[in-house]
Chain A
Amino acid sequence: MKMPCARLIPVCLLLALPGAALSAEISVDATSIVSFEQRAYTGAPKKDIVPATQFLGLDAAKLADGNLSLHVYGWGRGDILDKSYNNDQFAGSLTYGYLQYRFKAANADVRAGRFFVHEGIVNEQIDGASFRTDLPLGFGLSAFGGANVHTKKLYNENSDGKGSGNFGGRLNYRYKGVLELGASGQYETNAPALVNYPTVNHRLAGGDVWFSPHKSVELMGHTSYNTVTKGVAEHSYLMNVKPLQHLVLTGEYNDHRERNYFYSWASFSGAALSPAEKSHSLGGRASYGVSKAVEIAADYKHYTREIGNADRYGADIKLSFLNNSVRSGLGYHYLRAGKEFAIGGTPSASYHEMRGYIMHDSRIYFVAVDAIGYLFKEKVNSEKAAWEAMASLGYHITPDLALSGDFSYGRNPQFTEEVKGLARLTYNMTFDSKGGKK
């Protein structure tokens, strides 16, 4: 079933743009970026890449009776010199464009157009419509339906592997501020016939939970089930314990049955994976806000796959000074991983990761310096490290308009050296705003 009607919805929304001018509250976000990059691949001539990109967003609230709003965001790019990606000299995308009507009660709303659905186990972008509301006795209901928004076509295929239609929703129940249970699912239709990959639909059902018997304890997570392969796809659960006001101890468990989870991931032939393939990760994190100006965190995670296991651990510190106008951070992590996870014939995948940054944002100017380095236990393509340093300097022309430039230099096994520059003009304006949305 093709869904041309659903495709027309975002187009029709563009016709509503002039009406948006009559709304009581309009906000415009525009970012223009011209970047300059010189890429040097090992054994290949250098490439000069100069893409010009425009990001543009418009939010018009309080339309019609005051409960209707319009939200549009997208980008367009043109390559001035060498092509930056693939064979496209020009590219663009409508990220989202939808009309939303918010009812005054019950958190009810209706959306129509191109938008994202993030409900329970469902994460999709569709051209269509959705409805959501709270119901009496703690229940809630959401539903969506429409055409899938497609991404780039797979190599030598006439499709990205996604089907044409997508429907689903979530039913939830909340008991006071203690418990939430949810059941959600999605049903994709008409998966395309592919030449090099199996034809499969993305159909999932699952449940999610949030349980907080005391304000210092939270358990949350979800389990999804692939209704096509008839097997559990994912368990993903998290527990937070807050013994002190600014101390959060987190435990996390993830389990993936890879064929069921990656089944519709055509470009990686997910449907061809062995049903026995599975992976787990188990980790913990402690974060503590020493004061408003100092935040420290330490974390550990253990990964288990059929091919081997690995551990990652490290710590971060974030600092802020001068009423938050100066912000900085330092981080260190170490990944212990064997040759099973390594690049090419390298005997180890272990590496140290180090990062440090500092930035200052005044009413007149803003400046930032950021450096990140990966130090490999064993050389990769004869390089001992991959690192990048970046400096950014900007000027607030007006409170809503800013001009800035970034420069970065790095060396790594992929490109030997990377030199990048960027000029950025940002405009963020809200007319008659009473609230704050970023």
Chain B
Amino acid sequence: MKFFQQIFPALALAGLIMILAACAQMKTIPGLPASHPETLAAGQQVSCTECHEDNQKGTLKAYNAFNHSPAFVKNHRFYASSDERLCSTCHKSSFCNDCHTNQVEMKPSIKYGNRPDRDMPHRGNFMTMHKIEGKLDPASCYRCHGRANNERCITCHR
């Protein structure tokens, strides 16, 4: 502990110098646009590589990684956890928060009953089915209902 106390000023100074050096170069680092320049059609599974060259620039990941294939849609959480700023060029926050939110007022599949083509959780009579699915894979419940969105759960689970 004493050793760390002794070297802390040196570490802090080194850190400060590095931060200042980084800030000086910030203006040269490119950024994504705020929004996608073209309006994308609703209901179309977006394929980024249709328009974008399938290669990476700088530290951007290859565009084909973000083609909205069924596999991408099913596993979008992996992409959103590190590339949320890329998602936000096309999707408003509300697009995500129809499902991922603190209090969902109604099942997304009911809110968007006119859009059966969209992948939505808990379609049909999930009230019955959750008694099986909850025992099978409780982690899948926890992701959305563990830290938020518990109103339906606590009605029975006490």
A residues less than 8 Å from B85 (CB atoms)? 107, 109, 132
Q: Which of B83-128 contact A (CB under 8 A)?
A: 84-85, 88-97, 100-103, 105-106, 110-111, 113-117, 123-125, 127-128
* Cross-interface CB contact of A105 among B26, B90, B129, cutoff 8 Å: B26
A107-B31, A404-B114 known; A307+B84 contact, CB < 8 A: no
Contact (Cβ within 8 A) A180 B61: yes
* Cross-interface CB contact of B117 among A124, A155, A359, cutoff 8 Å: A359
Q: In the complex the two chains form, what is the Cα distance from A102 to B60 in whole Å?
A: 18
B residues less than 8 Å from A406 (CB atoms)? 110, 113-114
Q: Separation in Å of the A252 CB from the closest CB of chain B?
A: 7
A residues less than 8 Å from B69 (CB atoms)? 246, 248, 287, 289, 295
**In the complex, per-residue mask of A148-175: 1 if CB is within 8 Å of any chain B CB, else 0:** 0101101110001010000000001011
Q: In the complex the two chains form, what is the Cα distance from A152 to B105 in whole Å?
A: 12
Contact (Cβ within 8 A) A104 B92: no
Q: Which of A359-396 contact B (CB under 8 A)?
A: 359, 361, 366, 368-370, 372-374, 380, 386-388, 390, 392, 394
A residues less than 8 Å from B72 (CB atoms)? 248
* Cross-interface CB contact of A418 among B70, B80, B125, cutoff 8 Å: B125
| Nearest opposing residue in chain B for A119, CB measure | B81
A134 touches B (CB below 8 Å)? yes
A residues less than 8 Å from B57 (CB atoms)? 177
Contact (Cβ within 8 A) B129 A327: no
Contact (Cβ within 8 A) B93 A115: yes
A321 touches B (CB below 8 Å)? no
A243 touches B (CB below 8 Å)? no
Q: In the complex the two chains form, what is the Cα distance from A274 to B61 in whole Å?
A: 41
Q: Separation in Å of the A360 CB from the closest CB of chain B?
A: 11
B146 touches A (CB below 8 Å)? yes
The total of Cβ contacts below 8 Å across the A-B interface reads 335
Q: How many residues of chain A get a CB closer than 8 Å to chain B's CBs?
A: 148
A93-B103, A125-B102, A388-B124 known; A366+B114 contact, CB < 8 A: yes
A86-B151, A107-B32 known; A349+B92 contact, CB < 8 A: no
| Nearest opposing residue in chain B for A180, CB measure | B82
Contact (Cβ within 8 A) B102 A95: yes
Q: Separation in Å of the A235 CB from the closest CB of chain B?
A: 11
A231 touches B (CB below 8 Å)? no
Contact (Cβ within 8 A) B132 A105: no
A210-B82, A248-B71 known; A95+B31 contact, CB < 8 A: no
Q: In the complex the two chains form, what is the Cα distance from A174 to B155 in whole Å?
A: 45
* Cross-interface CB contact of A388 among B25, B70, B82, B125, cutoff 8 Å: B125
Contact (Cβ within 8 A) A212 B65: yes
Chain A residues within 8 Å of B, Cβ to Cβ:
27, 29, 31, 33, 35, 53, 55, 57, 59, 61, 69, 71, 73, 75, 77, 85-86, 91, 93, 95-96, 102-109, 115-116, 118-121, 123-125, 132-136, 138-139, 149, 151-152, 154-156, 160, 162, 172, 174-178, 180, 182, 202, 208, 210, 212, 215, 218, 220-222, 234, 238, 240, 242, 246, 248, 250, 252, 254, 256, 258, 261-262, 264-265, 267-268, 279, 281, 285, 287, 289, 295, 297, 303, 305, 307, 310, 316, 318, 324, 327, 329, 335, 337, 340-343, 349, 351, 355, 357-359, 361, 366, 368-370, 372-374, 380, 386-388, 390, 392, 394, 404, 406, 408, 410, 412-415, 418, 420, 422, 424, 433-438
- Further contacts, 11 of them, CB under 8 A, given A93-B105, A152-B151: A55-B111, A136-B25, A152-B150, A160-B150, A250-B71, A265-B142, A327-B117, A374-B128, A386-B129, A410-B124, A422-B110
What are 29 A-B contacts defined by CB distance under 8 Å? A55-B111, A91-B103, A93-B101, A95-B101, A107-B29, A118-B80, A136-B25, A151-B102, A152-B154, A160-B150, A177-B61, A177-B62, A182-B82, A210-B78, A248-B71, A258-B138, A262-B146, A318-B117, A329-B116, A351-B132, A359-B116, A368-B115, A372-B123, A374-B128, A415-B125, A433-B39, A435-B37, A436-B39, A437-B92
